[in-house]
Amino acid sequence: MSFQVIIKPSDRVFEVEDGSTVLDAAIDAGINLPYGCRNGTCGACKGQVLAGEVSYGEYFDSALSEDEKKVGKALFCCAQPLTDLVIECREVEGEGIPPRILTVRVEKLEKLSHDVMGMTLKLPSNERMQFMAGQYIEFLLNDGRRRAFSLANAPHDDRFIELHMRLVASGQFTQYVFNEMQEKTILRIEGPFGTFFLREESTRPVILVAGGTGFAPVKGIVEHALRQGLKRPMTLYWGARTLEDLYMDELPRQWAAENRLFRYIPVLSAPEPEDGWLGRTGLVHEAVLEDYPDMSAYQVYCCGAPQMVDVAHRDFQRHGLPKGEFFSDAFTFANPVAKIPA
């Protein structure tokens, strides 16, 4: 059994399965209602029930008073519909989600390849960080510097924050992460930031182009899109030097095996003889152009080294990709507040 929810003033509509909260169902539907803790503590998800009945769930009185309940307020992270609903609340998009400073604990460090570390961060038990798949966070280091990394998980799976870090020879922070950091280390982050997220209002087929750890935000975007049920074709080109650099190769292969609308094309620029590579070779953006000489009907999301992103942007436009249909999130080595794999 499910209930229909209409949001005012946008008139967007989504379904809530029995047993699910209004907020969880909205996130699954790709609708960004505001939230903070997702457990009835902070009050950030409070909105108005204009029509229909909810069960309020368990929450702290400080987040929702009896007087507020009497006038139809509810916490959407706890409230479950008992009937179809009309609710009134704010919706937030991308840069509209205010960044917050949070203290996090390193839950897990796992080497994904010789030079990529998977880092899982845990937020305090009554905090969640609202974000859109593909955005990034910054670490606030003790000396005032910041180091930025893309979020590799999707919002429906936000109990932890997942990052993929590539070791950079001259990068003090990643050297520290690879050589000294222990699990349970406490760090401060600020986020989310960035405009690299799926434009869900578009119906254009999507081409995702990732270079190296540029796969991280792309993974978040794909997992978010799959969670909602893919509605338009998506093709991922993941470029790397050697087979080992495709550090999660099985995952996009699995997405492709399970979803008719998703295709995965790995491209190696310098495969090792022992890789026994029979797949595509060369530069990843050139592989895209070989397959799509006319890009006028597509929408592109591109993340990787700045040279790759720049060249892809230029060449894709030469092949008809309309201005405004290219979204990128280039790694930058020089700018201390930009997103860097260092």
Q: Which residues bind ligand FES (CB under 6 A)?
A: 35-38, 40-45, 63, 75, 77
CB nearer ligand FES, residue 60 or residue 277: 60
Least separation in angstroms between CB 76 and ligand FES: 7
State which residue, 43 or 239, has the beta carbon closest to ligand FES. Answer: 43
Q: Would you say 320 and 294 are in contact if contact means Cβ atoms under 8 Å apart?
A: yes
**Cα(235)–Cα(287) distance, integer angstroms:** 12
CB of 266: closest distance to ligand FES in angstroms? 39
Task: Select the residue whose beta carbon is closest to ligand FES and give its number.
Answer: 77
Edge-to-edge strand list for the sheet holding 116-122: 146-150, 136-140, 186-193, 100-113, 116-122, 160-166
Nearer to ligand FES, 59 or 196 (CB): 59
Nearer to ligand FES, 41 or 150 (CB): 41
Dist. CA 178–CA 156, nearest whole Å:
29
Q: Which is nearer to ligand FES, 45 or 117 (CB)?
A: 45
- Nearest distance in Å: CB 194, ligand FES: 22
Please, what is the minimum distance in Å from the beta carbon of residue 341 to ligand FES?
32
Output 26 or 189, the one with its CB closest to ligand FES: 26
Strand ranges (E), the chain: 2-8, 13-17, 46-51, 54-55, 73-75, 80-81, 85-88, 100-113, 116-122, 136-140, 146-150, 160-166, 186-193, 206-211, 234-240, 262-268, 280-281, 299-303, 326-328
Residue 190 forms beta bridges with which residues?
Answer: 101, 138
Shortest Å distance, C-beta 31 to ligand FES: 15
Phi, psi of 121 (to 5 degrees): -110, 140
The tally of CA atoms less than 13 A away on the side-chain side of residue 3 is 24
Beta-carbon contacts of 96 under 8 Å, excluding residues fewer than 6 positions away, are none
The residue among 22 and 265 lying less far from ligand FES, judged by its C-beta, is 22
CA distance 150 to 134: 7
CB of 63 to ligand FES, least distance (A): 5
Q: Quick one: 63 or 330, whose CB is closer to ligand FES?
A: 63
d(CA 71, CA 80) in angstroms, rounded, equals: 17
| Smallest separation, CB 131 to ligand FES (Å) | 14
Q: Which is nearer to ligand FES, 43 or 99 (CB)?
A: 43
What is the distance between the alpha carbons of residues 291 and 208, in angstroms, rounded to a whole number? 13
Q: What's the DSSP call for residue 321?
A: P
Residue 51 beta carbon to ligand FES: minimum distance, rounded to whole angstroms? 21
Q: How far is the CB of 81 from ligand FES (least distance, A)?
A: 16
Q: Determine contact, residues 133/158, Cβ cutoff 8 Å.
A: no
